Structure 1
């Protein structure tokens, strides 16, 4: 059990990470270009400085704040035989107990999802398309996926969000029950309503016939007098 801050209590880092339990992993977008991957000269890349929030494993509540405090330089390996899809990621590694911006060599297939296990957690910033035997990476070869929640996304503090979906579900259920109750009520009195309506209609028809008869009799009297 974890509860903090209690007096005179020793805490582990995993306990303190719970302070961020309401956050989703991603970049904080503090500078406006947090962790943007830019092409340099040749095969070189620059990853802009920024602030991110990352988990340390796939099913973790809470996590870590990461800020390298300066731009990071990386170099893409040459793809000798086929076009390769590499990626740049913010990576937590349990064995080294570090969070770093890394360049990950890929394959001929585009990454379908970042690696997120019990010992490694990736936030993919950009997919790098490395043409076969190319000696240069241009900006056109860089697919920015920072805003794609499948790969990265923006950090959201879910504690500040109103749980509208729960309210919506309750409203939908209430409307459905009201409709069901009305259908039951209507079915129960439908025959009676049909009888009442028919009776009322017949009374109005009878009154109309009486009025027509009275008018006709009045016209006959006038004609006789004339």
Structure 2
């Protein structure tokens, strides 16, 4: 059967609304989104912890979805367990969906000593998410951290959305990312080596050009030096009371007043 939600209701000819919804319709929609599990909005969401030197535990605040029904606990909830007996006992702290009571609530499931794990509900009417497994040793005087096993994030009490295989999706993305990064690293290395080669070639060319320019300057300087050396033998020429600086080799044909 096909179903689509949600639509505005319209009155038929008899004045009756043709679209009527209830909480089950919303629950079915939310269950399709989230599945059953805790909402990991804090690291201690519905975490069960023992109270020091006692047989009591406390359940931290937290949120969850079970069968599409939203649950919220806004304060610490305390449960007092039965005392230790002659034999080991296993208890559960559970979050229960109860369709008959129309409620989701925390529940202490006490086991029988020496009988292993207690029974818990997994039916359409009753459904338990097991928050913690508490192993009470024989003749225990109080609870310790080692006796309380956190079941959050396991198959007994998953986080929401784990109906989608997030691990597989994450793994697939990581493989793709690693391949892309490897290609980028190789391309970047080749590109960088090419730039280095270009810089080295340009450096060699610039050095050769500079050496050539220096050699030309040396040659020009030597020519100027020789010219200056020659001109140092020239003297001033005085004629008609004027002094002339001779800038070419002395010409004896020039009539001067110098004897």
| Native 8 Å contact 1:85 1:111 kept in 2 | yes
Q: Which of 43, 49, 63 is the aligned partner of 2:61?
A: 49
| Native 8 Å contact 2:110 2:118 kept in 1 | no
Q: Does 1:31 align with 2:26?
A: no
Partner of 1:117: 123
Instruction: Report deviation, 1:88.
Output: 0.5
Residue-by-residue CA offset, 1:134-165 (whole Å, 9 max, x unaligned): 2311111101111111x11111176797x97x
Q: Does 1:4 align with 2:5?
A: yes
Whole-angstrom CA distance in 2 between matches of 1:125 and 1:160: 21
Whole-angstrom CA distance in 2 between matches of 1:35 and 1:106: 21
Residue-by-residue CA offset, 1:2-43 (whole Å, 9 max, x unaligned): 432111232121111122113221111101111111110411
TM-score, normalised to structure 2, is 0.54
Computing the radius of gyration from Cα coordinates, the structure with the larger value is 2
| Native 8 Å contact 1:22 1:158 kept in 2 | no
Residues 111, 117 of structure 1: CA spacing in aligned structure 2 closer, same or farther, 3 A cutoff? same
Whole-angstrom CA distance in 1 between matches of 2:146 and 2:165: 37
Instruction: Identify which range, 120-129 or 151-160, moves more after superposition.
Output: 151-160
Q: Which of 138, 149, 163 is the aligned partner of 1:143?
A: 149
Partner of 1:93: 98
Partner of 1:191: none
TM-score, normalised to structure 1, is 0.62
Unaligned runs of 5+ in 2: 10-18, 170-259
Partner of 1:218: none
Whole-angstrom CA distance in 1 between matches of 2:66 and 2:76: 18
Unaligned runs of 5+ in 1: 56-62, 165-226
Partner of 1:194: none
Structure 2 matches for 1:1-226, cutoff 5 A?
Answer: 2-8=3-9, 9-20=19-30, 21-41=32-52, 42-55=54-67, 63-107=68-112, 108-111=114-117, 114-149=120-155, 151-156=156-161
Q: CA RMSD in A?
A: 2.6
**Between Structure 1 and Structure 2, how many residues are aligned?**
156
Instruction: Report deviation, 1:81.
Output: 3.3
